[in-house]
Amino acid sequence: MKKWYKESYFDRKNWILESFDKLNLNTDETMLILLIDLCKQSRKAVTYDYLMQKLHKNTKDIDKMIASLVAKHYLKLSTNAKGLIFDIDGIFEFDPEKYEIQENRDLYDTVSEIFGKPLSSGEMQKMNDLIEEYGQKEFMQALRVSEAQRKVKMSYIEGILRNEKR
């Protein structure tokens, strides 16, 4: 049986554009995903040269975007005789409702739910410090990355934030 996102009637481009904020994608990552999808739909090879030309980015920037998408499990890379294979099926298998944070919902409850336990006073203090230093949006992004990598700890989240700042 075909996956729902592989059905002929499914508009992948519209779904990506409609969901990019819930998927925690920045504009560059969204454009990269859309370009990969365009290449796949038109049976064109995805190459670094093509991506750099279209996005007006250098190799280092493309690598950073790809690493971010791989860490979020939206992109899988593999190789075959023809070269590098880009698989973006992971983006369609992500459940954005799981991560949707409603404005009236307490941030501590959200983090506790992801941690799978109530936060200790030390964890709450660390969380407050990290939010103050890096911002709530960046903290939540790092939290999602840590959950995707199944390493949900404040120290790991802090490491992600420090690495992103560099």
Residue 135's domain comprises 104-165
Given a cut of 50, whether residue 100 has pLDDT beyond it is no
Domains of the chain: total: 2
The answer to whether position 20 is within a domain reads yes
- For 78-90, b/e burial (b = at least 16 CB within 10 A) is eeeeeeeebebee
* Predicted TM-score (pTM) above 0.85: no
Residues 112 and 71 in one domain: no
Mean pLDDT of the region 81-94: 86
- For 14, phi then psi, to 5°, come to -65, -40
The residues, any chain, with a CB within 8 Å of residue 152's CB and separated by 6 or more, are 114, 115, 116, 143, 146
Give a yes or no: residue 99 inside a domain. no
Q: Which long-range contacts (CB under 8 A, 24 or more apart) does 122-127 make?
A: 123/154, 126/154, 126/158, 127/154
Residues 12 and 89 in one domain: yes
3-state helix, strand, coil in the chain (%, to 5): 65, 5, 30
Asked if the structure places residue 98 within a domain, the reply is no
The verdict on 142 and 161 lying in the same domain is yes
Same structural domain, 24 and 83: yes
**Which single residue is written with the structure tokens 């075959």?**
80
Residue 84's beta-bridge partner residues? 79
The string of pLDDT tens digits covering residues 47-61 is 999 999 999 999 999
Answer yes or no: are the C-beta atoms of 64 and 70 closer than 8 Å: no
Cα–Cα distance for residue pair 23/95, rounded to 1 Å:
8
State which of 38, 66, 93 marks the end of a domain: 93
Q: Look-up: residue for tokens 């592989």? A: 6
Mean pLDDT over the full length of the chain: 85
Helix (H) or strand (E) holding 84: strand 83-87
Is residue 9 located within the same domain as residue 88?
yes
Distance, in Å, from the CA atom of 126 to the CA atom of 144, rounded to the nearest integer, reads 17
Residue 150: inside a domain: yes
Examine the domain organization and report whether 78 and 130 are in the same domain. Answer: no
64 and 116 fall within a common domain: no
Q: Do residues 17 and 66 both lie within one domain? A: yes
- Looking at the structure, do residues 10 and 72 belong to the same domain, yes or no? yes
Residue 103 has pLDDT above 60, yes or no: no
Let me know if residue 154 belongs to a domain. yes
Highest mean pLDDT pick, 52-56, 70-74, 105-109, 159-163: 52-56
